[in-house]
Structure 1
Amino acid sequence: MGGLVSRKIKSNEWGAKVVSDLADYIHTQDPTLKGFSKRNIYNMVMLYDEYSSDDFLDFVQSKLNPEFVQLETAQLDVDVLQKNVKSEIVQTASAQLGLLPRIVLLTSFSNHVEILCNCRSYEQRLFYMLYANKERLNYRELKRCIANDTFTTLLRTKKNLSKGMLKSYPQAGITFKDELFLDFLNLPEKHSENKLKKSIVEQIVLA
Structure 2
Amino acid sequence: MLQLTQLRKSYQGQVVLDIPSLLLDPAIYWIQGANGSGKSTFLKIIAGMVPFEGDISLRGSSLRNSPLAYRQHIGWAAAEPLYPPFMTGIDLVTLYQRIRKVPQKETYQLIERFNVGNFIKGQAAAYSAGMTKRLSLLLAFMGEPSLIILDEPLTTLDANSFTLISDLILETWQKKGTSFLMSSHQELDTNLLHAQKVLTVINQSIVQ
User: For this structure pair, what is the TM-score category when the shorter chain's length is used for normalisation?
Assistant: under 0.3
Q: Which has the higher strand share?
A: 2
Structure (1 or 2) with the larger CA radius of gyration: 1
Query: TM-score scaled to structure 2, two decimals?
Result: 0.24
Q: Could you say which structure has the higher helix fraction? A: 1
Higher RCO, 1 vs 2 (CA within 8 Å, ≥6 residues apart): 2
Q: Give me the TM-score of the superposition, normalised by structure 1.
A: 0.24
